[in-house]
Amino acid sequence: MTIAEQKPPAVLIDQASKWYGQVIGINEVSLAIDGGVTGILGPNGAGKSTLFKMMMGRIKPNQGSVRLFGVDPWTNTSPYRRVGYVSESEKLYEWMTALDFVTTLARLHGMTREEATDRSKHVLEFVGLTDVMHKELGKYSKGMRQRVKIAHALVHDPDLIVLDEPLHGCDPIARTSIMSVIRELGRQGKTVLVSSHILEEIERITEQIVILHNGRLLAIGNLHAIRDMLDKHPHRILINCEDPRSMAGLFVSQDPVFGVRFPSEGQLEIQTNDLSAAHSLLPSIVVSSNQKITSIENPDDNLESLLGYLIREAS
């Protein structure tokens, strides 16, 4: 197969940059994504929404290029026949029922009335809103509204689904439901991009992640491989217990532990280079210490820590 015959990837971003006056939104980002679920991670202001807006043709990159299925979305709306987009800020028509709303948007894709109604009922069933599809959107909870947004993004059976913070503001049940919807779409072979600033959320959906910070691409690839990078740098485990000093005595003799601290009364901080090995030691040491443990925390096992590490590595 020649290069010309190759199918273009769903998303191809080449050296794209976008700045708003002095503020850099996206800084020379290059990406190619095709198939499966990919998590776009980054703290607030990292450039996730800017990246999505460039992909959706809402904003034009100041330099570089963005292609959806090989077509520039800024100059041509044809790729949107194959794209479903859930914007973080988008509002719904509050007076409409979910079925009317999704049907209306299906018709904006050029479906006939019958096709639009049938398909809308199916996608609303898929996101678990069949029971309430005749209820006005103004009466929906945040989680239900997010699911309606996903339904309207899926109504024309797109190949690429872009979800900007779909779990934001949802309760745990809605999160679980939306996550399983996203996983199912990935299993169907769709290309799904999901943005979030919470690592754990993405972790439950996919292993393929892209990390953005200050508009720059910090890491891309398998989550475990990136986490392994994190595991090579010092980690802390905070244990709240009755007698931290006797507990510390049990830890210091162990291999993965290279230091202990007592940050506050009743608190022990263990420092380790191998977080999983240290965690595997925990149960036996806790049992042998014979004391009451009120909490165990990993303050470094979060996105901020991962980002901090990646930023330091980058610099």
Q: Which CB, 116 or 223, lies closer to other proteins?
A: 116
Q: Residue 64 class from Cβ within 10 Å (0-12 exposed, 13-18 middle, 19+ buried)?
A: middle
From the list 122-130, 207-215, 250-258, 270-278, the region that binds other proteins by CB under 8 A is 122-130
Which residue type is seen at 7?
Answer: K
Q: Is 290 in the site for other proteins (CB under 8 A)?
A: no
From the list 108-116, 202-210, 214-222, 265-273, the region that binds other proteins by CB under 8 A is 108-116
Q: In the chain, what's the furthest Cα-to-Cα distance?
A: 73
CB 308 → other proteins: shortest distance, Å? 26
Q: Which CB, 51 or 247, lies closer to other proteins?
A: 51
Count of residues that interact with other proteins, criterion CB under 8 A: 50
Query: CA 114, 144, 132, 159: dihedral to nearest 10 degrees?
Result: 20
Q: Which CB, 72 or 243, lies closer to other proteins?
A: 72
Please give the structure tokens belonging to residue 151: 């339904």
* Residue from 17, 27, 65, 104 binding other proteins (CB under 8 A): 104
Q: Which CB, 93 or 262, lies closer to other proteins?
A: 93
From the list 109-117, 201-209, 242-250, 254-262, the region that binds other proteins by CB under 8 A is 109-117
Q: Is 185 in the site for other proteins (CB under 8 A)?
A: yes
Which residue type is seen at 300?
Answer: D
Here's the x/- map for other proteins, 76-95, by CB under 8 A: it reads as -xx-xx-x-x-x-xxxxx-x
Q: Is 107 in the site for other proteins (CB under 8 A)?
A: yes
Q: Which positions from 7 through 66 interact with other proteins, judged by CB under 8 A?
A: 20, 25, 50, 53, 56-60
CB 149 → other proteins: shortest distance, Å? 10
CB 269 → other proteins: shortest distance, Å? 39
Are the C-beta atoms of residues 101 and 148 closer than 8 Å to each other? yes
DSSP string, the chain: --TTTSPPPSEEEEEEEEEETTEEEEEEEEEEE-SEEEEEE--TTSSHHHHHHHHTTSS--SEEEEEETTB-TTT--GGGGGEEEE-SS----TTSBHHHHHHHHHHHTT--HHHHHHHHHHHHHHTT-GGGTTSBGGG--HHHHHHHHHHHHHTT--SEEEESSTTTT--HHHHHHHHHHHHHHHHTT-EEEEEES-HHHHHHH-SEEEEEETTEEEEEEEHHHHHHHHHTS-EEEEEEES-HHHHHHHHHTSTTEEEEE--STTEEEEEES-HHHHHHHHHHHHHHHTS-EEEEE-TTSSHHHHHHHHHHHH-
Which residue type is seen at 174?
Answer: A
Q: Is 171 in the site for other proteins (CB under 8 A)?
A: no
From the list 33-41, 98-106, 224-232, 276-284, the region that binds other proteins by CB under 8 A is 98-106
Q: Which CB, 192 or 202, lies closer to other proteins?
A: 192
CB 262 → other proteins: shortest distance, Å? 42
Q: Is 138 in the site for other proteins (CB under 8 A)?
A: no
Q: Which CB, 91 or 312, lies closer to other proteins?
A: 91
Contacts to other proteins by CB under 8 A: 20, 25, 50, 53, 56-60, 77-78, 80-81, 83, 85, 87, 89-93, 95-96, 100, 103-105, 107-112, 115, 119, 122, 125-126, 128, 130, 153-154, 156-157, 173, 180-181, 184-185, 188
